[in-house]
């Protein structure tokens, strides 16, 4: 009778898929390379199929190997959630929470919320990771993260979304070049608009919120020559007179443009904004933990 794969074998397989290197995968699993290799071979023998094609220099997963690794990830995520469920039953406000934060939120909001979280939730051990939205979404799905502090909306599959507060946008012009003390999105029509590079959700949120997305083919010029990797880059370019950018309110409030040759202008009539919120896997049992964390962030950020 064939026995089912062990969780250890599945973890070996996923480590190899993530690193595509036997030595690195073994180090990640805290075992010797020979132990990891033998474990994957045992898994292949058990299933009666080849999962990994090996040469002296390369590792390549077969199509079936990729599918089994995908399903193994789901199984291990469920196992981790089951373990968390038992821990949360004892004390929902204790233990490690791995939280991802996008770069257009992290430097402006974290310094404000972390002292309050430590005060109000002292037994919660928050491990933080900053990265782009798509990468954090992948890490949430694979179980490497428990929760992500995001700008919504952002499609991340079957997750629970909790909106917390709205973060308004402001227009940043080179000193004394703004068309008025308050502007509308129409005033941006003839502007050279500088935005973050593709992959940063702030780019799409700003264009959409300011009703620019459908007009970029007409009047508004979105700079194709510069895709900034950070808001700091954008404001340096604005201060040097190379265009106009859109900044989230939390960045302005944090003093990002202080001392720069820049005018910060609000929008009149309707204020464009992005929604700051938390997302987590629907299968994660730590809803009470995340709700408590959400309330603290909401109180500080709103």
Question: Confidence band (pLDDT; 50, 70, 90) for 74?
Answer: confident
Q: Full-prediction pTM beyond 0.75?
A: no
Which residues fall within 8 angstroms of residue 95, CB to CB, at 6 or more apart?
Answer: 84, 87, 88, 123, 124, 125, 289
Question: Confidence band (pLDDT; 50, 70, 90) for 199?
Answer: low
Task: Domain 166-274: give its CATH superfamily.
Answer: Periplasmic binding protein-like II (3.40.190.10)
Question: Confidence band (pLDDT; 50, 70, 90) for 242?
Answer: confident
Write down the CATH number for the domain with range 87-163+276-301.
3.40.190.10
Q: Please determine whether the domains at 87-163+276-301 and 166-274 fall in the same fold group of CATH.
A: yes
pLDDT tens-digit profile of 121-131?
Answer: 998 999 999 99
Average confidence score pLDDT of the chain: 85
Question: Confidence band (pLDDT; 50, 70, 90) for 209?
Answer: low
Which residues fall within 8 angstroms of residue 72, CB to CB, at 6 or more apart?
Answer: 5, 10, 13, 14
For the chain, the domains span 7-76, 87-163+276-301, 166-274
Write down the CATH number for the domain with range 7-76.
1.10.10.10
Say how far apart CA 270 and CA 165 lie, in whole Å.
Answer: 17
Closest CA to 161 of 35, 16, 281: 281
Q: Is the pLDDT of residue 30 over 90?
A: yes
> Range with the lowest mean pLDDT among 67-71, 74-78, 143-147, 267-271?
267-271
Q: Is the pLDDT of residue 259 over 60?
A: yes
């Amino acid at each position: 009778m064939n026995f089912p794969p062990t969780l250890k074998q599945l973890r070996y397989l996923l480590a190899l898929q993530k690193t595509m290197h036997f030595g690195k995968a073994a180090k990640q699993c805290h075992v010797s390379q020979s132990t990891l290799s033998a474990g994957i071979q045992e898994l292949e023998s058990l299933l009666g199929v080849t999962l990994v094609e090996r040469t002296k220099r390369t590792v390549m997963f077969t199509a079936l190997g990729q599918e089994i690794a995908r399903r193994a990830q789901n199984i291990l995520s469920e196992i981790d959630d089951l373990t968390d469920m038992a821990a949360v039953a004892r004390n929902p406000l204790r233990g490690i929470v791995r939280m991802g934060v996008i770069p257009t939120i992290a430097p402006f909001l974290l310094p404000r919320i972390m002292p309050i979280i430590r005060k109000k939730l002292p037994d919660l051990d928050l491990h933080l990771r900053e990265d782009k939205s798509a990468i954090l979404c992948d890490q949430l799905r694979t179980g490497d993260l428990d929760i992500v502090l995001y700008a919504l909306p952002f499609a991340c599959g079957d997750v629970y979304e909790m909106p917390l507060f709205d973060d308004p946008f402001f227009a940043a012009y080179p000193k004394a070049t703004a068309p008025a003390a308050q502007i509308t999105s129409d005033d941006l029509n003839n502007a050279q608009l500088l935005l973050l590079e593709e992959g940063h959700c702030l780019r799409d949120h700003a264009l959409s919120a300011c009703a620019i997305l459908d007009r970029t083919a007409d009047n508004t010029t979105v700079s194709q020559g510069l895709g900034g990797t950070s808001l700091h880059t954008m404001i340096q370019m604005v201060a040097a007179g190379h265009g106009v950018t859109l900044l989230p309110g939390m960045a302005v409030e944090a003093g990002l443009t202080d001392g720069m040759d820049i005018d910060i202008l609000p929008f009149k009539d309707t204020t464009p904004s992005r929604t700051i919120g938390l997302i987590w896997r629907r299968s994660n049992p730590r809803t009470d933990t995340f709700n408590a964390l959400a309330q603290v962030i909401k109180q500080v950020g709103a």
